[in-house]
Amino acid sequence: MSLEFNHVTLAQRVLFGAGQAATNLKNEVDRLGVNRVMVIAGGHEAELARTVAGDIEVAVWHDDVVMHVPVETADKARSVATDNDIDLLVSLGGGSTTGLAKAIALTTGLPIISVPTTYAGSEATNVWGLTEDARKTTGTDDRVLPLTVIYDSELTLSLPVEMSVASGLNGMAHCIDSLWAPGADPINAAMAAEGIRALSSGLPMIVAQPQGIQGRDEVLYGAYLAALSFASAGSGLHHKICHVLGGTFNLPHAQTHATVLPYVLAFNAPFAPEAEKRAAAAFGTDTALEGLQALRSAVDAPKCLADYGFTAGGVPEAVAIILEKLPVNNPREVTADNLTTLLTAALHGDDPASLS
């Protein structure tokens, strides 16, 4: 059987090196020849942002960052950028910070330099997301793809182990979902598999030695590959579910992804044997679910949605919204009944193997 696929590689400059963020940022700003820089960093990242951006001239410091990027927050930030004649956005922080920069770029076309401090992966995709009236809308647009990403594992050292685990497993979700997403192809599958390997190697290192660079480097590298595969393959069932849980019920992004992932894997794996086999090989285990669950146990991963405020009363509404947003080619048919079973299992932290 001949090989046939259609793959798009996004154009982006990546600078990776521990302890090099400030130097790399200055060099990029100089290379681009910009004059009016807006640095976006939430309040808890403000001091770190001022250190990283200490060698460049900053026109505006913006710290109004909100999870899931409410439309009102985006509109305020857009006004700040246009009122101050900004010609470059620098985002330093996690997925919410990157998401706000993307929201500005979506309407202004301003270039972004992204400096991630978590393993969210948004910096490597052309996917944007906005929340309005408890509904999260996502889309793709090349205007929101950061021009340059500066990875520096030293910037993640302050990320608590618990949050590092959740954020890294969010990256793992990008990998696994990419194996059966609408645009899955051999190239993004190869990146996803290497991402699985790197993340499953690095996360236990972070738990064992939180201040160690090797584990942080490995997870940051894996998260980047995860984001690349996701950007190419598109949003699969896992992400459709988690975007609804986050946007409608305001559940925390990383923890929600980390909790839901084994249930979607168990749900889809029997109907996607080649994808399951590739993921299992990347974990180095007989089955993908076995590998994921072993990793989750080793790093004490989030276990149930109830811990983050989701309740049984929210299941019917979540099911109804998710059914409207299903990916076009999920390997297993999704119905109201089996989706209810999946969400109920994730709510209580039941054994995901029951969904197979």
Same domain? 89 vs 193: no
Q: How far apart are CA 285 and CA 220, in angstroms?
A: 23
Burial 222-233 (b: 16+ CB within 10 A, else e): bbbbbbbbbbbb
Q: Is residue 265 part of a domain?
A: yes
Q: What pLDDT tens digit does each residue of the chain (356 aa) get?
A: 578 888 888 899 999 999 999 999 999 999 999 999 999 999 889 999 999 999 999 999 999 999 889 999 999 999 999 999 999 999 999 999 999 999 999 999 999 999 999 998 999 999 999 999 888 888 999 999 999 999 999 999 999 999 999 999 999 999 999 999 999 999 999 999 999 999 999 999 999 999 999 999 999 999 999 999 999 999 999 999 999 999 899 999 999 999 999 999 999 999 999 999 999 999 999 999 999 999 999 999 999 999 999 999 999 999 999 999 999 899 999 999 999 999 999 999 999 999 87
Q: What is the length of the chain?
A: 356
Q: Is 109 exposed, middle or buried (0-12, 13-18, 19+ CB in 10 A)?
A: exposed
Residue 148 structural domain: 13-156
- Alpha helix segments (H runs only) across 84-178: 95-108, 161-178
Q: Is the domain of 150 the same as that of 168? A: no
Please tell me whether residues 137 and 121 are part of one structural domain: yes
Output the six-digit token pair for 338.
Answer: 């089996």
Whole-number pLDDT of residue 135 = 86
Burial class (CB in 10 A: 0-12, 13-18, 19+), 159: buried
Residue 320's H or E segment, with its range, is helix 315-323
Backbone CA torsion sign across 239, 241, 242, 244: positive
CATH number of the domain where residue 224 is located: 1.20.1090.10
The answer to whether 150 and 125 have CB atoms below 8 angstroms apart is: no
Looking at the fold, whether 187 and 287 belong to one and the same domain comes out as yes
Boundary (domain end) residue, out of 156, 175, 207: 156
The pLDDT, as a whole number, for residue 9 is 85
**Tokens representing residue 164 in the block:** 């590092």
Of 124, 156, 188, which closes a domain?
156
- Same domain for 121 and 253, yes or no, is no
pLDDT of residue 1: 57
Q: What is the CATH number of the domain that holds 114?
A: 3.40.50.1970
Q: Give the pLDDT of residue 3.
A: 87
198 and 144: one domain? no
Q: d(Cα 76, Cα 90) in Å, to the nearest integer? A: 17
**Long-range CB contacts (within 8 A, 24+) of 330-336:** 330/180, 330/236, 330/237, 330/268, 331/180, 331/268, 331/271, 331/272, 331/275, 332/267, 332/268, 332/270, 332/271, 332/272, 334/237
Residue finishing a domain among 156, 181, 214: 156
In sequence order, what are the beta bridge partners of 149?
14, 114
Beta-bridge mates of residue 127: 140
What pTM value is reported for the model?
0.92
Would 6 be classed as within a structural domain? no
Which residues have C-beta within 8 Å of that of residue 299, sequence separation ≥ 6? 165, 168, 169, 203, 204, 206, 207
Judge if 120 and 169 occupy the same domain.
no
Instruction: Please check whether residues 188 and 329 belong to one and the same domain.
Output: yes
Residue 125: its pLDDT value, please? 93
> Residue 69 has what DSSP assignment?
-
Please give the tally of structural domains in the chain: 2
Q: Which two tokens stand for residue 152?
A: 């520096």
